[in-house]
Amino acid sequence: QVQLVESGGGLVQAGGSLRLSCAASREIDSPSIMTIRWYRQSLGKERELVAAISSGGPTKYVDSVKGRFTISRGNAKNTVYLQMNSLQPEDTGVYYCNGGGFALTAVGQYWGQGTQVTVSS
């Protein structure tokens, strides 16, 4: 089984930045060979697809983060990053890395444990 591990969450003031990372447990199962998505879950809200990147490079973002968040692959192709700038309290939630499937908006079969992002006003 592929294991995905998220890191980089934390507490930040509104207007600040964080960079989340999603890495596979084994290089042979690198995120470079699968579509990677970032979902977030907040209390009282539905799980939301925030950003996605395909194995070939195309990306997709939810409208609320366009211009502020950037999803990318590392130079080594074994890690996917989510750079989050101009963070707002509404961005608070648990961010989950999801891999597999084909379409950018599909739900893959692999999930990380999540990393908490808290944005204070």
pLDDT tens digits for 41-59? 998 899 999 999 998 889 9
Q: What's the Cα-to-Cα distance from 13 to each of 6, 64, 66, 118, rounded to whole Å? A: 21, 18, 19, 8
CA angle 90/39/35 to nearest 5° reads 145
In 1-121, which ranges are continuous DSSP H helix? none
pLDDT tens digits for 99-108? 988 889 989 9
